[in-house]
Amino acid sequence: MVSVRPGMLNPVSTPFGTTTLVQGPESLLAERAVQGLIKRALDARSDASINRLSAAQLDRGSLLEATSGSLFTTAAVVVIEQLAELPVGLADDVVGLAQQASDDLVLILVHEGGAKGKALLDRLRKAAVEVVEAPSVKAWELPQFVVAEVRKRGGRIDRETAEALVGAVGSDLRSVAAAVAQLLADTEQPVITTADVHRYFAGRAEVSGFAIADHCLDGNREAALGSLRWALETGVAPVLLTSAVASGLRSLGKYLGVRDERLRDVELARRIGVPPWKLKDLSRQSRGWSAPGVARAIQHAAAADAAVKGASGDPDYALESLVLSVIDCRSRGRQASVQTRR
């Protein structure tokens, strides 16, 4: 088995006669790896047919048809996606193709990660297929991803501005990559500045679930409710808002648990699962919270999440109740902390 990172595909003279397993949960990296392989194939044989198949809907006949070329060419690029859903009866066929791909075939297998389909993955590894990893990008890695993405597109951005962009757009990798492309296209200059980020994404940051979460953790009732109403009016999905609040609470809870261990910022951020620049916010927010208060708030977030997913007929009310409940947990936690010091 050969394992490589996305964008570092083995530059053999031709990809035909090879099988590549693209594996991992980050769909953007996986799709880029697939597109890179397809491009290499078309560069080698521009007449190749491109066939993208869902493993769940695959049968022996459609697999044979896709891998046999077409009336106009013998060359074929076959992408089998959602490999974990492959019918058990086709495992031998796919492994056989992977072991002995014809000189006219480029076989690309895409597995989204997880335990499902592990037996098939083990067999493919034993068949010595090339593996391209598409791992999840951790929160603290996002600013570096931004820097690399801008550089790849011919631009420049410093670390502080990259952190501002992540703070404005959020942690979804596709959204971050799209924001980079938009900034470079609209600013028409190679250097992205913090002012550019604020100009293009300030409004989006204000309505993001993460901004609402920060207002809740700060105990700013007016700002939290205002941002919530704005988010709902602009069509932000309620489930994204409950998820962001829950994520903020979990990060705060982890911070409270490890802040006294005298760790370096980088290590502390890794333990919590946030980028280092977020530690300053957590430090400020933690002054108004106790561990029991965070635990109660997380329970409210779980209840609100269930409500907006269908257990309640009024998701707007469930979200407003969540904001008020979280801030109430903070107030009680602060009172308890003061009484303890006395």
Q: What gap in Å lies between CA 35 and CA 6, rounded to an integer?
A: 11
Secondary structure (3-state) at 54:
strand
Q: How confident is the model at residue 34, as a pLDDT?
A: 95
Q: What is the pLDDT of residues 117-127, one digit of tens each?
A: 999 999 999 98
CATH hierarchy code of domain 139-202: 1.10.8.60
Sequence ranges of the domains in the chain: 2-133, 139-202, 208-341
Query: What is the arrangement of strands in the sheet containing 130-133, beginning at the earlier edge strand?
Result: 2-4, 130-133, 18-23, 105-111, 76-81, 49-54
Read off the pLDDT band of 269 (50, 70, 90): confident
Read off the pLDDT band of 5 (50, 70, 90): very low
Tell me if 168 sits within 8 A of 196, measured CB to CB. no
Sign of CA dihedral 186, 187, 191, 194: negative
Share the mean pLDDT of the chain.
86
Structure tokens at 238: 């309620």
In DSSP terms, 106 is beta-bridged to: 18, 77
Q: Does CATH number 1.20.272.10 belong to domain 208-341?
A: yes
Rounded to two decimals, the pTM is: 0.62
Q: What is the pLDDT of residues 281-338, one digit of tens each?
A: 899 999 889 999 999 999 999 999 888 877 557 889 999 999 999 999 997 755 544 4
Q: How confident is the model at residue 333, as a pLDDT?
A: 56
Superfamily of domain 2-133: P-loop containing nucleotide triphosphate hydrolases (3.40.50.300)
